[in-house]
Amino acid sequence: MEVPANQDGVEPVGRGKNSRKRGGSLSFAVVVPGWTEGDCWASLSRSPYLRFRHVVAAKDHGFCDGASHQRKDPYRESPYDTAIFVLQTDSGARKWPVSDGDSEAGRSLKDALNTAFAQGRPTAAAKKRQKR
């Protein structure tokens, strides 16, 4: 599910609260720009379902946009930090445990995310070509 980086995009995730009453297991990974001053950031950060949050610095990752198939170099430098939020119901957290960032498992998850996001960085040659 693609979630826009605004308050409206957070609402579908919040609907999962009804599954708590029915015992449903829900788990969402929400990836948004790291715009900490926005409503989306605030809503996700104060969600009662928040289990994990991590920010990847802009300099540490790139991205592949929708037009990448039309270019020689698919990856571009990221102009913004990127945040990953994991929201889960209690049942979802038991079924798919995600450790917070301060535990050893949480640090491992952060390291894995940093490594994965770093794969999208453009090479030095690609950056040079893109500046033309």
Q: Which domain holds residue 113?
A: 7-130
% of the chain at pLDDT higher than 90: 36
Separation between Cα atoms, residue 30 and residue 22, nearest integer Å: 23
Number of domains in the chain: 1
Does residue 16 lie within any of the structural domains?
yes
Does residue 2 lie within any of the structural domains?
no
The reported pLDDT for the residue numbered 1 is: 40
Separation between Cα atoms, residue 99 and residue 108, nearest integer Å: 9
pLDDT in tens, 32-78: 999 999 899 999 999 999 999 999 999 998 877 777 666 667 777 78
Q: Which residue has the higher pLDDT, 92 or 24?
A: 92
Does residue 87 lie within any of the structural domains?
yes
Q: Do the beta carbons of residue 89 and residue 49 sit within 8 Å?
A: yes
Separation between Cα atoms, residue 59 and residue 128, nearest integer Å: 16
Does residue 92 lie within any of the structural domains?
yes
